[in-house]
Amino acid sequence: MNASVEDIFVALADPARLGVVRLLRKKALRSSEVAEALSLSRPMMSRHLGVLRRAGLVEESSEGNDARARTYRLRPERFAELRSWLDEVEGFWSEQLEAFKAHAERKYGKRLKAPRKRHT
């Protein structure tokens, strides 16, 4: 599976799939349990889980001897890859803002204060 960051964003763009991720953060679940928790039909849940699976965000496993009973769980390594990509983007903007600040200080000859961070 070689899904791109774009595939991950597309998969997470749907509110129902975000709901699936929220549920699976707590524990692995069967697709019927996820469908019931999100008030979705089983066929619709199957489609959403397929999108998440193709993006590499969830994996499925069979329970015991019943190949029809599938349990889904998150794949943390894909979320780590996404976090790494976001860190790169954040680093780029931090560098750009620092360069802008240095330029403004050179041009206007005074020390500019960084805006205070709000605590939420």
Tell me the three-class secondary structure of the chain, residue by residue: CCCCHHHHHHHHCCHHHHHHHHHHHHCCEEHHHHHHHCCCCHHHHHHHHHHHHHCCCEEEEEECCEEEEEEEEECHHHHHHHHHHHHHHHHHHHHHHHHHHHHHHHHHCCCCCCCCCCCC
pLDDT of residue 94: 64
Least confident of 44-48, 57-61, 72-76, 86-90: 86-90
In percent, the amount of the chain with pLDDT more than 70 equals 77
pLDDT of residue 3: 66
For the chain, which domains are there? 5-75 (1.10.10.10)
The overall average pLDDT reported for the chain is 83
